[in-house]
Chain A
Amino acid sequence: MSKIKMTVNGKTCTGDVEDRVLLANFLRDELKLTGTHVGCDTSQCGACTVHVDGRAVKSCTMLAVQADGAQVTTIEGLAKNGKLHPAQQAFTECHALQCGFCTPGMIMTTAALIKDHPKPTDDEIVHGLEGNLCRCTGYLNIVKAVKRAAELQGK
């Protein structure tokens, strides 16, 4: 067991966790932040993507203890002061979600992508979405949403 302390969505959170507990499970089970989804067990689908110290990571492939002391942002913390993040706004505007299960991970990935690439090309978008699977949308509207998110971010 380890005592851990991290900032999640701006709030300090502490916990006593088994060392083998994944960050995704800590967020979902201990902090009840169920917006972070777990869609696979081989680190491919990206549904569990969160930001750790500003970088997109798969929270199913990181131990909660590894995030000790880190700044973590989940989908629940992305909107600021009731205003949707550009990535959130773009996903709905472009109909880039259907069942919505991959969506939190997609949006977190997009938010990081447009931070690194404020004007992403199609290739950069496809490359940036390599770690996220969606079964509903066929990705076309997701690619559009990433572009739109960048546009909204620039405004």
Chain B
Amino acid sequence: MYAFQYRKATSLKEAGELLAKDEEARPMSGGMTLIPTLKARLAQPTQLIDITGLAELFGIEVRDGQLFIGAATRHQQVADSKVVRDALPALADLANNIGDPQVRNRGTLGGSVANNDPAADYPAAVLGLDAKIITNKREIAATDFFQGMFATALEAGELIMRIAFPLPKKAAYAKFPHPASGYAMAGVFIAQTADGVRVAVTGAGEGVFRWTDAEAALGKQMDAAALENLTLSTDNLNEDIHGTREYRAQLVKVMAGRAAAAVAGK
């Protein structure tokens, strides 16, 4: 790690100001991606502004058909929350399968979404549920928020405060974890809503995306068989030593089938 200055923000305002004043300052939430990045000397921030002490970034509640979760909520808190389990069990399950217990005890919803790792789990739920990202400046629709690998609509000094997940009729998430890192090689979130089915895919491409063909097919019939004749285009999928594009397309299909079965209660 390069040297930096650590500041624990005492208010959201202060955090915003510190970040706005210093372009090289970085907000830090759970630090589960940031700290390993720093350890590998892949980033050299001047300051780390710790925002996990800010009360306004906590809290889980259901209001107006939406589940609101504070950005600094730890993955394990989401997984264990009775409110989440009752309202949106698919999200609790997703959170319970992020990383490992130690990561879940530190990592946060806001941190994960703001980082937008192309293999992170939360973005699939955010996009799959058409959630709103509420920042200290505005509300951003999921579709506009994710802008490809590690890129988001967040501006300098803009911090996620909470995320509002519209409650679906049913939802499920299935992931194929990378055998080494545990990140999603293919993660598929399916939400059945009043407006139809949404299918969001993480891990396989450069960022989370919707698989619209599958949405149409599963809208008619919620099971793996409905996907049988679909082939996910491999154009924008990842290829590396762990899998070809074709393999990732296959994994997406299989995970979509498994999530569909879970949505259908099979």
Contacts and interface: CB of A to CB of B under 8 A. Distances in A.
Interface stretch (B18-26, B36-44, B129-137): B36-44
Interface string A1-16: 0100000000000000
A61 B35 contact: yes
Contacts of A127: 101
Contacts of A41: 36, 39-40
A2 B4 CA distance: 11
Most interface-central of A18, A20, A68 (chain B CB within 10 A): A20
Contact of B102 (A19, A63, A109): A109
B102 A58 contact: yes
Contacts of B2: 20
Interface in B26-83: 31-32, 35-36, 38-40, 48, 50, 76
Contact of A113 (B5, B50, B101): B101
Given A2-B6, A63-B6, A65-B6, A56 B105 contact: yes
B3 A19 contact: yes
A135 to B, nearest CB: 14
A152 B35 CA distance: 36
A43 B102 CA distance: 9
Contact of A20 (B3, B31, B50): B3
Contacts of A55: 76, 105
Nearest to A68: B8
A62 interface: yes
B99 interface: yes
Interface in A89-143: 109, 112-113, 127-128, 130-132
A84 B155 CA distance: 52
A68 B50 CA distance: 12
Contacts of A60: 39
A131 B39 contact: no
Interface residues of B, number: 26
A131 B103 contact: yes
A49 interface: yes
14 contacts: A20-B2, A44-B181, A46-B100, A46-B102, A55-B76, A55-B105, A56-B105, A61-B35, A61-B36, A62-B35, A63-B6, A63-B35, A130-B182, A131-B100
B44 to A, nearest CB: 11
B153 interface: no
Interface in B95-129: 99-103, 105-106
B225 interface: no
A131 B102 contact: yes
Contacts of B35: 22, 43, 61-63
Contacts of B31: 61-63, 66
A42 interface: yes
Nearest to B32: A61
Interface residues of A, number: 30
Contacts of A66: 6, 31, 50
Nearest to A61: B35
B6 A56 contact: no
CB-based closest 10 A-B pairs: A131-B100, A130-B100, A19-B6, A55-B105, A20-B1, A58-B102, A131-B102, A65-B6, A61-B35, A43-B36
A2 B6 CA distance: 8
Contact of B106 (A20, A57, A109): A57
A36 B243 CA distance: 36
Given A2-B6, A19-B6, A62-B106, A131 B101 contact: yes
A132 B35 CA distance: 18
A86 B76 CA distance: 24
Contacts of B38: 20
Most interface-central of B31, B76, B103, B105 (chain A CB within 10 A): B105
A35 to B, nearest CB: 17
B4 A61 contact: no
Given A19-B3, A20-B2, A43-B35, A61 B101 contact: no
